[in-house]
Amino acid sequence: MNWSARRINKIAKINNAQTYLEIGVRTGQTFLDVDIAFKDGVDPVFRFDTKSVESDKVRFFTQTSDAFWTQGQARSYDVIMIDGLHTFEQTFRDLLASFQYAHRKTVWLIDDTLPSDVFSAMPDQTASFRERDKLKVPGRPWHGDVFKIIPAIHDFLPTLNYATIFRSGNPQTLAWYGPRQNFKPRLNNLETISRMGFFDIQKVLPLFKFASEDAAFEALGAAFAD
Ligand SMILES: C[S@@+](CC[C@H](N)C(=O)[O-])C[C@H]1O[C@@H](n2cnc3c(N)ncnc32)[C@H](O)[C@@H]1O
- Contact in structure between 31 and 39 (CB atoms under 8 Å): yes
Q: Which domain holds residue 41?
A: 3-225
CA nearest 79: which of 7, 157, 185, 155? 7
Predicted local confidence at residue 150, as pLDDT:
98
CATH number for the domain spanning 55: value is: 3.40.50.150
Predicted local confidence at residue 167, as pLDDT:
86
The closest residue, in CA terms, to atom 19 on ligand 1 is 64
Predicted local confidence at residue 71, as pLDDT:
95
Predicted local confidence at residue 179, as pLDDT:
87
- Contact in structure between 208 and 150 (CB atoms under 8 Å): yes
pLDDT over 90 at 140, yes or no: no
Q: Could you give the CA distance from residue 116 to residue 11 in angstroms, rounded to a whole number?
A: 25
Quick one: pLDDT band at residue 152, thresholds 50, 70, 90? very high
Q: Which atom of ligand 1 is nearest to the CA of 46?
A: 27
Mean pLDDT across the chain, nearest whole number? 96
Phi and psi at 86, nearest 5°, equal -85, 55
The closest residue, in CA terms, to atom 8 on ligand 1 is 30
Q: List residues near ligand 1 (CB under 6 A).
A: 4, 22-26, 29-30, 42-45, 64-65, 83-85, 90
Q: Could you give the CA distance from residue 24 to residue 26 in angstroms, rounded to a whole number?
A: 6
- Mean pLDDT of the 131-139 span: 89
SS (H, E, C) the chain: CCHHHHHHHHHHHHHCCCEEEEECCCCCCCHHHCCCCEEEEECCCCCCCHHHCCCCCEEEECCCHHHHHHCCCCCCCCEEEECCCCCHHHHHHHHHHHHHHCCCCCEEEEECCCCCCCCCCCCCHHHHHHHHHHCCCCCCCCCCCHHHHHHHHHHHCCCEEEEEECCCCCCEEEEEECCCCCCCCCCCCHHHHHCCCHHHHHHHHHHHCEECHHHHHHHHHHHHHC
The number of folded domains in the chain is 1
The closest residue, in CA terms, to atom 11 on ligand 1 is 24
Predicted local confidence at residue 141, as pLDDT:
86
CA 186–ligand 1 middle distance (angstroms)? 30
Predicted local confidence at residue 139, as pLDDT:
86
The closest residue, in CA terms, to atom 7 on ligand 1 is 30
Instruction: Please give the span between the terminal C-alpha atoms of the chain, in angstroms, as a whole number.
Output: 30
Quick one: pLDDT band at residue 77, thresholds 50, 70, 90? very high
Q: What is the pLDDT of residues 158-193, one digit of tens each?
A: 999 999 999 888 899 999 999 899 999 999 999 999
CA 182–ligand 1 middle distance (angstroms)? 35
Residue type at 194 in one-letter notation = S
Q: Best substitution site from 1, 7, 23, 26 to test ligand 1's pocket, by max atoms within 8 Å of Cβ?
A: 26
Predicted local confidence at residue 168, as pLDDT:
84
Q: Is 135 exposed, middle or buried (0-12, 13-18, 19+ CB in 10 A)?
A: exposed
Residue type at 31 in one-letter notation = F
